[in-house]
Amino acid sequence: MSHGPATGADGRSPTLPFGVRLRPMTMHADDRGVFTEVFRREWDTGIDPVQWNLVRSQAGVLRGVHVHPRHTDYLMIVAGMATIGLRDLRTGSPTAGIAATLTVDGERLVGLTIPPGVAHGFLFHEPALHVYAVSHYWDTDDELGCHWSDPGLGIEWPMAPAAVSPRDAAAGSLSEMVARLGPFQPIGRDVR
């Protein structure tokens, strides 16, 4: 089942946190298969990648919810389908507090940029593969998390997860995560 490039739970385009970017990819198909450019430096993705990663997830897996004080993610579901939950935790953002979900799949590729301060989680409907780039190398201080079901997130997941990592299952509350994020808030700076 395909929902289009990226849709909310109701099948329409959701209102996204400020700085979250969706870039539909041009897929060139012929009888051999499909070729798609997934990144060009001159595209307005909001990221200059230092590292690319590949993640394979089983059906029902939920990854997150995480937030990064410093780094930007640029990602794409290349096979399978996922619901991505987002919550803007930036106090200086014009969309502070907004929550959204979007459904993306490998049939209609979309590049998604998630800036620092936007919490995010991924719930995979079926076996899936996604690639993502980061603007900074991995650092434990840039990897905060809260429990995926915290009601304060306002994220409406379409189903309960079948599997969550021990780290994500033991994650604290949204308020604890926000307190840890506090020193990194972009007060007086551009929140993109």
Does domain 21-182 sit in CATH 3.40.190.10? no
Cα–Cα separations (whole angstroms), residue 112 to 21, 39, 103, 109: 6, 11, 11, 10
Cα separation, 177 vs 98, whole angstroms? 16
User: What are the residue ranges in the chain where pLDDT is below 50?
Assistant: 1-4, 187-192
pLDDT at 163: 98
pLDDT tens figures, 142-187: 899 999 999 999 999 999 999 999 999 999 999 999 999 876 665 4
Residue 140 is predicted with a pLDDT of 85
In the prediction, which pLDDT does 100 show? 97
Domain boundaries, the chain: 21-182
Of the candidates 141, 153, 154, 147, which has an alpha carbon nearest to the alpha carbon of residue 173?
147
Q: What is residue 1's predicted lDDT score, i.e. its pLDDT?
A: 39
